[in-house]
Amino acid sequence: DAKTTQPNSMESNEEEPVHLPCNHSTISGTDYIHWYRQLPSQGPEYVIHGLTSNVNNRMASLAIAEDRKSSTLILHRATLRDAAVYYCILYGGSQGNLIFGKGTKLSVKP
Amino acid sequence: GAVVSQHPSRVICKSGTSVKIECRSLDFQATTMFWYRQFPKKSLMLMATSNEGSKATYEQGVEKDKFLINHASLTLSTLTVTSAHPEDSSFYICSASTSSAYNEQFFGPGTRLTVL
């Protein structure tokens, strides 16, 4: 299974942008890059996904490197509610299951 | 978006008893459901994958006779922890995916099991 590497933790100030990096140097051509987040004592929540082009939705933006070996999740204005563990996952769709790594624990300071 | 529910959200039981956890897709048909387990401060670990009407596929190291999974309909899967022990105490999370080519997964809110 293709793996991802993320920093264990990051800190941000409220209302400032946050850039969460993810390395996936062994990504295959059919792997989508997914981001989920998990708030304390809750199930994971879908954030965004992409294949090759940068993506934007109401929650975040996803910037994908041209060689697809890395990506960055961008929260444009962090709020206290964004404090969570963020998981970057490669998902080939046909493989069926998501494989969660350790993720990045994001702390947001008021 | 698609909604997945779990019941109960919390359960406390005595050692040796069995506990059933339900996972329901509320507004879509889930051809595949997944069960994960998460210990404190750890990541989610996949336990098993179940397709409607067929036997679940268990991950290595997960005892199929201890963690019984039934996926009897396209909207319901159940996980039964049989003869629970304190080491089974964990956060159990299900997810469901549709039959679309993309197979996006939607997660339930989780069930906190505490075995005394």
B90's tokens: 């964990």
Residue A44: list chain B partners with CB under 8 A: 44, 93, 95, 107
* B93: contact with A, CB 8 A cutoff: yes
Closest CA to B24 of B112, B114, B107: B107
Among the listed residues B50, B6, B77, B42, the one whose alpha carbon sits nearest the alpha carbon of residue B58? B50
Higher per-residue confidence, A97 vs B82: B82
What is the phi/psi pair of residue B108, to 5°? -80, 175
Residue B55 confidence (pLDDT): 87
Assess contact for A20 and A106: CB atoms under 8 A: yes
Query: Which DSSP string corresponds to chain A?
Result: ----B--SEEEEETTS-EEEEEE-TT--TTPEEEEEEE-TTS--EEEEEESSS-EE-SS-EEEE-TTSSEEEEEESS--GGG-EEEEEEEE-STT--------EEEEEE-
* A-B contacts at Cβ under 8 angstroms: 51
Q: Is the pLDDT of residue B21 over 60?
A: yes
- What the block records as the tokens of A91 is 């998902």
Cβ count near A20 (within 10 Å): 23
* Percentages (nearest 5) of helix, strand, coil residues in chain B: 5, 50, 45
Other CB atoms within a 10 A radius of the CB of residue B3 amount to 13
Contacts with A55 from chain B: Cβ below 8 Å: none
Task: Tell me, yes or no, if B103 comes closer than 8 A to chain A by beta carbon.
Answer: yes
Contact call for B32 and A93, based on CB within 8 A: no
Which residues of A fall within a CB distance of 8 Å from B49?
96-97
Full pLDDT tens readout for chain A, 110 residues: 558 999 999 999 999 999 999 999 999 888 899 999 999 999 999 999 999 999 999 999 999 999 999 999 999 999 999 999 999 999 875 556 788 989 999 999 99
